[in-house]
């Protein structure tokens, strides 16, 4: 018979990050402890609110079945000497809780070894559950733990109560001097009375009846519905905010929505500024009207329905004060031009060895034209945006709201009546800010974003601050991924090697005088290639990615690699592709050390004038000349699907027949030379598309 198992750790209010971290750990901790004691069970479900961390385990078997296991020790030569057990054998017995009499020598696939059979007794699961729960509580970790009273065991917050039930029975255990029972508490304000949980199966429902939604998914659903309904009732639509959604969820046990308002005069502030004040500073949600504009209201989730009018008035008072401060900052910043702040950037250190932010701006501006060409952007707009893109860093508004850098710059640029492309590029050049963010959508913004990041990467690689292991203090992996994502999104062709070389040329000064720039360029390009391989391997098989990337040895054109990988991926089901890859690998290996200086055009001219004697030679000659023309034309048009198809469908059969019937390394040097040139053209032609030999299907 099976029962449901429950553990609830009641404590003082935990921060959202503590709750989320604990709920991520609990299922694994519980599964591991149950497995350690051989207790079979069903699904494990973690629940949590600011006041409680809980775990429910379904279908926990009451009995632990006995188990017999075979143990192997050291070889006979080490386990037994002159008919007696050695110290190694005795140690093996002691380690496994066995008597020496239980040992024997037996044969296995490796030879004669020490063997023993250990019988693990069964029993009642309930006898082990106290040990399971105590261990789970002790192993649960937090970002920061605390100790209270004279208790040495740390925890996220002081523990107030413990509930431990196996079905309807209490699991008797103690942790940090708190004895487990069946008593818990409802909502702190709405249903504060202590009550007893009859059984583990009734736990969630009993809490729900007392205004506690312990299940985070249920609480999130209720919260979203309440927020959306509140926005709709005021003629608006809730502004989605994943950060705030998760943050607020960890602050309440029973979501209750309160709507407050602020003066419409504050809507003259940038939307991003208003939403930042609401979200990051106050944990309030915003709403937009049918016209897409922000409404002069905010929606907040609170943990009590008691006296909502007082809560609303207090929130409005705080919101008004926050927006008043924000308006003061932005009005003060708007009183001077963005460009006039550039001189102040000279006093803001970017990095001790890389100069000030003013130096960085000048480097970005110098690189901007090259990046503009990559995206087909207006070079003047990119350069103009680059010269002022960091000027908002010395503004009062960014000083108070650092997360608004870029957005404030755009607002000040608009206030200065700068070109619209310049304004948007200033805001967009910080994109993507994170893994989930969109990239810069405008061409000028994309060019500036790439220029900024390439400068960052080149600078820190030049001073030897490349990422190592898990350490990346300057976010260079994130910067590299931002460059790659932006190029791929815009389908922009770029030689990252050339951009890196240009960026390195802008880094000057005594502290960089002895830098081997060519080596830095190689290292940084290799780093970008590694990041690209990781990124593309999320979409395509790793052998496909590597085969596509191998056409560029000392450079990186991300979109070119993507196109080749897509073509190989689409044709992966072609039955001829694997055989073609195997044959091409053989042709490449045979000819890798011959005719290295001869171009495809030279080989084509020679082969057209040469006459072969054998039918297999003639067949391959005709096909390879035809395929070379098809592939060259397809690659020129970026039609990699066509190029791969031409090779797989055209070359495979005649090339396979050639290797089956023709001895390439003939003693007749003229025949050998002709056959090698024929195979060399096969290798050169296929290399225009990808490294077929790196495809896993080529390995037999």
Residue 181 belongs to a domain with what CATH number?
Answer: 3.30.70.260
User: Does residue 519 share a domain with residue 444?
Assistant: yes
Per-residue pLDDT tens over the stretch 570-592: 888 777 888 888 888 888 888 88
Number of separate helices (H) and strands (E) present in the chain = 27, 22
In a domain, 546, yes or no: no
**φ, ψ dihedrals at 371, nearest 5°:** -70, -35
For residue 307, count other CB atoms closer than 10 A to its CB: 9
**Residue 581 resides in a domain:** yes
Residue 547, domain member (yes or no): no
What residues contact residue 647 under an 8 Å CB cut-off, 6+ apart? 580, 584, 627, 631, 685, 686, 689, 692
Maximum Cα interatomic distance, the chain, rounded to a whole number of Å: 101
Domain containing 575 — which CATH number? 1.10.730
Residue 542 lies in a domain: no
Instruction: Mark whether 40 and 189 lie in a shared domain.
Output: yes
Closest CA to 504 of 479, 526, 478, 523: 523
Q: How far apart are the first and last CA of the chain?
A: 52
Of 183, 208, 233, which closes a domain? 208
Query: Half-sphere exposure of 340 toward its Cβ, with a 13 Å CA cutoff?
Result: 8
**Cα dihedral 73, 78, 82, 85 sign:** negative
**Between the CA of residue 225 and those of 45, 222, 289, what are the distances in Å?**
24, 5, 18
What would you report as the CA-atom Rg of the chain, rounded to the nearest whole angstrom? 35
List the Cα angle 178/188/14 in 5-degree steps. 60
Residues 54 and 82 both lie in one domain: no
The residue among 265, 311, 305, 5 whose CA lies nearest residue 130 is 5
Q: What pLDDT is stored for residue 640 in this prediction?
A: 92
Q: Three-state DSSP class for 181? A: strand
Are 297 and 373 within one domain?
no
Please tell me whether residues 615 and 660 are part of one structural domain. yes
568 within 8 A of 544, measured Cβ to Cβ? yes
pTM of this structure: 0.78
The answer to whether residue 553 sits within a structural domain is no
The distance from CA 500 to its chain's CA centroid, rounded to whole angstroms, is 25
Report residue 292 as tokens.
């897409």
Same domain, 397 and 468: yes
**What is the pLDDT at residue 699?**
46
One domain, residues 248 and 366: no
Cα gap 219→204, rounded to integer Å: 12
**Intervals of the chain under pLDDT 70:** 595-597, 697-700
How many whole angstroms separate alpha carbon 48 and alpha carbon 129?
21
Residue 613 belongs to a domain: yes
Domain range for 274: 216-334
Number of domains in the chain: 5
Beta bridge partners of 53: 9, 48
pLDDT reported for residue 698: 47
Triad 79, 83, 89: Cα angle to 5°:
25
Classified as helix, coil or strand, 189 is: coil
Check: CB of residue 508 under 8 Å from CB of residue 572. no
Answer yes or no: do 93 and 9 share one domain: no
Looking at the structure, do residues 318 and 349 belong to the same domain, yes or no? Answer: no
Q: Is residue 482 a part of any domain in this protein?
A: yes
Phi, psi of 667 (to 5 degrees): -65, -25
Q: Let me know if 373 is exposed, middle or buried by CB neighbors in 10 A (0-12, 13-18, 19+).
A: middle
Given 173, 192, 208, which residue is the final one in a domain? 208
Same domain, 100 and 150: no
Distance CA 37, CA 68 (A): 14
Q: Domain boundary residue among 155, 183, 208?
A: 208
What pairs with residue 184 in β-bridges? 195
Are 105 and 116 in contact, with CB atoms under 8 Å apart?
no
Is residue 229, in this structure, part of any structural domain at all?
yes
Same domain, 225 and 294: yes
Taking Cα atoms as reference points, which of 468, 436, 438, 691 lies closest to residue 587? 691
User: Hey, what are 512's tokens?
Assistant: 């960089």
Residue 454 sits in the same domain as residue 478: yes
């Amino acid at each position: 018979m099976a029962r449901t198992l429950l553990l609830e750790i009641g404590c003082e209010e935990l921060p959202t990050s503590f709750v989320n971290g604990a709920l991520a750990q609990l299922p694994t901790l519980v599964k591991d402890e149950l497995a350690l004691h051989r207790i079979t069970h069903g699904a494990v479900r973690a629940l949590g609110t600011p006041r409680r961390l809980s775990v429910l385990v379904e279908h926990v078997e009451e009995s632990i079945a006995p188990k017999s296991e075979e143990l192997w020790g050291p070889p006979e030569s080490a386990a037994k000497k002159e008919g007696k057990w050695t110290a190694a054998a005795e140690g093996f017995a002691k380690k496994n809780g066995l008597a020496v009499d239980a040992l024997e020598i037996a044969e296995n696939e490796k030879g004669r070894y020490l063997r023993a059979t250990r019988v693990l007794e069964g029993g009642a699961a309930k006898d082990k559950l106290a040990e399971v729960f105590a261990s789970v509580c002790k192993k649960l970790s937090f970002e920061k733990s605390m100790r209270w009273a004279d208790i040495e065991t740390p925890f996220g917050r002081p523990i107030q109560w413990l509930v431990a039930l196996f079905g309807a029975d209490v699991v008797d255990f103690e942790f940090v001097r708190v004895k487990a029972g069946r008593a818990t508490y409802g909502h702190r304000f709405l249903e504060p009375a202590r009550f007893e949980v009859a059984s583990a199966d009734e736990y969630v429902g009993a809490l729900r009846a007392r205004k506690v939604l312990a299940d985070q998914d249920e609480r999130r659903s209720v919260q979203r519905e309440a927020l959306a309904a509140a926005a709709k009732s005021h003629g608006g639509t809730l502004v989605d905010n994943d950060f705030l959604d998760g943050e607020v969820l960890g602050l309440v046990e029973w979501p209750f929505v309160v709507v407050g308002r602020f003066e419409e005069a504050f809507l003259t502030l940038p939307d991003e500024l208003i939403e930042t004040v609401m979200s990051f500073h106050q944990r309030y949600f915003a709403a937009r009207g049918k016209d897409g504009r922000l409404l002069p209201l905010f929606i907040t989730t609170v943990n009590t329905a008691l006296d909502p009018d007082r809560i609303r008035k207090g929130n409005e008072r705080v919101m008004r004060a926050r927006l008043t401060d924000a308006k003061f900052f932005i009005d003060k910043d708007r009183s001077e031009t963005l460009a006039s702040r550039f001189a102040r950037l000279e006093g803001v250190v970017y990095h001790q060895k890389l100069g000030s932010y003013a130096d960085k701006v000048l480097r970005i501006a110098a690189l901007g034209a090259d990046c503009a060409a990559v995206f087909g952007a207006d070079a003047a707009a990119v350069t103009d945006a680059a010269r002022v893109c960091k000027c908002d860093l010395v503004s009062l508004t960014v000083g108070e709201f650092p997360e608004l850098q870029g957005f404030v710059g755009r607002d000040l640029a608009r206030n200065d009546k700068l070109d619209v492309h310049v304004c948007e590029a200033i805001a967009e050049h910080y994109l993507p800010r994170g893994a989930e963010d969109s990239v810069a959508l405008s061409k000028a913004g994309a060019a500036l974003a790439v220029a900024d990041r390439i400068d960052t990467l080149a600078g820190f690689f030049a001073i030897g601050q490349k990422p190592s292991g898990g350490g990346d203090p300057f976010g260079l992996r994130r910067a590299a991924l931002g460059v790659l994502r932006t190029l791929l999104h815009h389908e922009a062709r770029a030689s990252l090697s050339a951009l890196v070389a240009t960026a390195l040329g802008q880094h000057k000064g005594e502290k960089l005088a002895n830098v081997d720039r060519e080596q830095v360029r190689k290292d940084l390009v290799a780093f970008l290639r590694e990041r690209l391989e990781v990124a593309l391997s999320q979409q395509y098989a790793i052998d496909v990615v590597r085969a596509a990337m191998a056409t560029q040895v000392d450079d990186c054109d991300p979109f070119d690699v993507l196109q080749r990988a897509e073509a190989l991926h689409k044709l992966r089901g072609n039955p001829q592709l694997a055989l073609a890859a195997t044959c091409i690998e053989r042709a490449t290996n045979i000819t890798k050390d011959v005719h290295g200086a001869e171009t495809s055009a030279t080989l084509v001219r020679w082969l057209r004038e040469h006459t072969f004697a054998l039918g297999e030679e003639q067949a391959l000659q005709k096909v390879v000349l035809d395929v070379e023309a098809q592939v060259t034309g397809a690659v020129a048009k970026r039609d990699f699907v066509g190029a791969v198809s031409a090779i797989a469908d055209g070359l495979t059969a005649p090339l396979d027949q050639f290797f089956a019937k023709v001895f390439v390394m003939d003693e007749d040097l003229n025949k050998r030379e002709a056959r090698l040139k024929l195979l060399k053209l096969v290798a050169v032609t296929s290399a225009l598309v990808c490294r077929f030999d790196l495809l896993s299907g080529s390995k037999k």
